[in-house]
Structures are given as C-alpha cells and as structure tokens.
A = this chain, B = another copy of it.
C-alpha cells in the first residue's frame, strides 16, 4: 500500500471532482494538483462527479482526491502529500522537514475552521448549481443531511451577512503577504497550495464575489499563485473573486 515497490516512472492518475463545465472544483484536489506540479510529477486526470465518488473503488473512498500510482491507491490529501514525498525522493520536496510539516498542518486546521467553513456557508448552493445536473440531487441530499434538513436555499439566504466575517478572517493571510510574496516566505509552500485551493473552489462556482475591490495584497498573491507552474491555476471558466 505505501508504494515503496512502485517505480517512480509509473504514471500518476489523479481522480478529481468536476463540475458541469468540466472544471476541477475540490479545494483538496487543488492542493494535490499544486503538490504534483511543485514536485514536477506529471499526472493523468480522471474526472468524476459527486455521485460517482462513493461508487468507484468499490466504495472504498468517500472523498477525492484519490491517486493511483503503480499498485498504490489512496485518498486524503495529507496522506497523498506525504506519499508523494516518499515516492519521489529525487524531486523537489514539499516540506523542508518535520517542523515545517507540523506548522503547515496547524495552518490547515486554522484555515479549515475559520475560512473554509465560512466559504462552505457562502457557496454551498453555488456548488450545487455548478455541479453536473446528474450530481445535483445527490449533492443536495448529502449536504442538507449535514444541515439537519435545512435546505441549501434557506442556509444561504442571508449569506452576504457572512462576508465581513470571512474577509476579516483572511487578515492573517494579508499580514503574512504584506511581509513575503508567498505564505511560505520567498517561495510558495504547501500552505500556499491549501489557501490557493480554497480560492480555486470559490472561483469555480461563485455568484457572489468574495473579496473587496481594494484587497490588493490578496489580489497580488492570487495572481502570482494562479500563474505558478506554467499557469496551472489559470482558467477562463473562473468566476470573479473580486467585487
């Protein structure tokens, strides 16, 4: 399972969630897209819809990303990132060492609690509406289950009221980016990929611009982040992130 027997020249296949327009939307998949690009590991994309996730791999995985590499099949973005470090030791490392790794995990828990959670609050109906038509009933049912029966429409009716708190919660990013070009310092690191992945998710579906027009510190970093690795993040299907 840990892939140590897999030759490093075996092809990597990335199973990723797609919307009706074909765009990869999951913030967790985007982390791995960036991680693969950072390491210079090419991959083949295997697009799937929300409805298919529990069906492929005999129900073994409930979430994407899932990667296949030789005999290895695995889910969970952190497990995959750690796997990529072990499986491609000759490629540029994602983490300089265990202390950076631990710090990025801490960043991830903060970011998930204060920012991703609020993004879900704002954009869950937009995700539904951008999903492939055949995925929408499943998406609605599963998410309304988390919401204990509240409809996506009710849940997001007052969503604009959340915007100020979400913009405030992004302050630590602005503070860091007023000091360094990337969250990771002079070069992008996995913390950048975590945060960029969330903005990709929003930009895939948004009908309500997340950021204020004058938020230049974030704008500069987003522009640079989308242009990384030959413009990996650039996509004409992206919705505006700025008012």
Contact = CB atoms under 8 A, between A and B. Distances in A.
Contacts of A98: 185-186
- Binding site secondary structure of chain A: helix
A101 interface: yes
Interface in A177-194: 179-180, 182-187, 189, 191
A107 interface: yes
A137 to B, nearest CB: 33
Contacts of A6: none
A81 to B, nearest CB: 15
For the side of the interface on A, what is the size category? 20 to 34
Contacts of A191: 103, 106
A141 interface: no
A114 B183 CA distance: 18
16 contacts: A95-B99, A96-B97, A96-B99, A98-B186, A99-B184, A99-B187, A100-B100, A101-B185, A102-B182, A103-B189, A103-B191, A109-B172, A109-B175, A110-B114, A110-B172, A114-B114
Q: Closest 6 A-B residue pairs measured CB to CB?
A: A102-B185, A103-B103, A109-B172, A109-B175, A110-B172, A99-B100
